[in-house]
């Protein structure tokens, strides 16, 4: 079992399924991932700019104030480590911290999108065009809803998407890309907002940073499969014997 932790964005390799082993922890600094907000400033559905500075928050939805009238989407990019030889991914969890939810009447759910072509199309760069990049597809997972309370930590099962990124990766670097957007949220000239705010990797509280947690386990050897099958057969036989004895005793 191995555990990987990245400052801000974390990858953990945890307990084996069929063996017991002590955890080894590797802390990688600086963080090899990023998070950004892409802006649509003319509300045509296309990105116009991107905040690639050390912003402490990530916004999704409408931002309407004296200097900004725009719709925002958040981009998350993870540079993934190599999975140790003989290991397989058994789970992947994306965790985000909700700083605030402001709903002036038109806020919709913050939905998680995933790029199914991160390795070839997006790679390691950032662009305002990623606001509407067509390789992102809706995962069907809601990161937050208008009823989500501020201070909530949200955890989402993204196992199948991360596994796909490893399977389809090209080149030496593996990327996982997510985008968060509130589809249908409208712009209202009211000096208020319909938006979500999440903590970024540059937030002052490290416990609030976005995290991607990957758990790996040893790939069972053919002999292990045989032992598992044999154990299952023995267990099933024993259960049937106990069941038969109990039924017989009850009938008698």
Instruction: Render pLDDT for 167-176 as a digit per residue (tens, 0 to 9).
Output: 988 777 788 8
For residues 211 and 232, membership in a common domain is answered with: no
Q: Sign (positive/negative) of CA torsion 221, 84, 200, 116?
A: negative
pLDDT at 114 over 90: yes
Of residues 240 and 72, more confidence is placed in: 72
For residues 22 and 73, membership in a common domain is answered with: yes
Of residues 35 and 226, more confidence is placed in: 35
For residues 152 and 233, membership in a common domain is answered with: no
d(CA 126, CA 229): 48
For residues 119 and 232, membership in a common domain is answered with: no
pLDDT at 8 over 50: no
Mean pLDDT over residues 103-115, rounded? 93
pLDDT for 101:
96
Mean pLDDT over residues 34-40, rounded? 90
For residues 185 and 229, membership in a common domain is answered with: no
pLDDT for 59:
92
**Strand extents, DSSP E, the chain:** 3-6, 25-28, 33-40, 49-51, 57-64, 69-80, 87-102, 110-115, 136-144, 153-157, 174-181, 195-199, 211-218
pLDDT at 50 over 50: yes
For residues 211 and 102, membership in a common domain is answered with: yes
For residues 231 and 195, membership in a common domain is answered with: no
What's this model's pTM, rounded to 2 decimal places?
A: 0.77
Among the ranges 25-34, 67-76, 102-111, which has the highest mean pLDDT value? 102-111
Mean pLDDT over residues 145-149, rounded? 97
pLDDT for 232:
55
For residues 134 and 21, membership in a common domain is answered with: yes
* Burial letters 118-142, b for 16+ CB under 10 A, else e: bbeebeeebebebbbbebbeebebe
pLDDT band of 37, cuts 50, 70, 90: very high
> 88: Cβ–Cβ under 8 A, 6 or more apart, which residues?
216, 217, 218, 219
The single-letter DSSP state of residue 42 is S
pLDDT for 146:
96
Of residues 226 and 151, more confidence is placed in: 151
Domain ranges, residue 177: 3-219
Report the mean per-residue pLDDT for the chain. 76
Mean pLDDT over residues 148-164, rounded? 96
For residues 129 and 248, membership in a common domain is answered with: no
For residues 208 and 186, membership in a common domain is answered with: yes
> 10: Cβ–Cβ under 8 A, 6 or more apart, which residues?
4, 211, 212, 213
Closest CA to 60 of 72, 78, 49: 72
């Amino acid at each position: 079992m191995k555990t990987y932790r990245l400052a801000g964005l974390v990858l953990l390799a945890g307990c084996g399924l069929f063996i017991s082993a002590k955890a080894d922890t590797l802390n990688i600094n600086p963080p090899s991932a990023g998070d950004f907000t892409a802006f649509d400033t003319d509300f045509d559905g296309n990105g116009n700019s991107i905040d690639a500075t050390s912003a402490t928050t990530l916004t999704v939805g409408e931002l309407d104030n004296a200097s900004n009238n725009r719709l925002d989407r958040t981009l998350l990019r993870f540079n993934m480590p190599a999975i140790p030889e003989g290991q397989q991914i058994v789970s992947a969890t994306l965790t985000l911290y909700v700083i605030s939810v402001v709903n002036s009447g038109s806020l919709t759910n913050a939905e998680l999108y995933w790029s199914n072509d991160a390795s070839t199309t997006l790679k390691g760069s950032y662009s305002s065009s990623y606001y509407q990049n067509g390789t992102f597809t809706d995962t069907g997972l809601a990161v937050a809803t208008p009823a989500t309370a501020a201070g909530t930590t949200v955890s989402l099962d993204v196992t199948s998407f991360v596994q796909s990124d490893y399977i389809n990766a090209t080149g030496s670097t593996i990327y996982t890309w997510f985008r968060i957007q509130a589809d249908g949220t409208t712009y209202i000239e009211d000096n208020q907002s319909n938006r979500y705010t999440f903590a970024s990797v540059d937030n002052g509280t490290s416990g609030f940073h976005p995290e991607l947690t990957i758990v790996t386990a040893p790939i069972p050897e053919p002999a292990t499969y045989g032992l598992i099958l044999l154990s299952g057969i023995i267990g099933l036989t024993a259960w049937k014997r106990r069941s038969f004895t109990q039924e017989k005793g009850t009938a008698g």
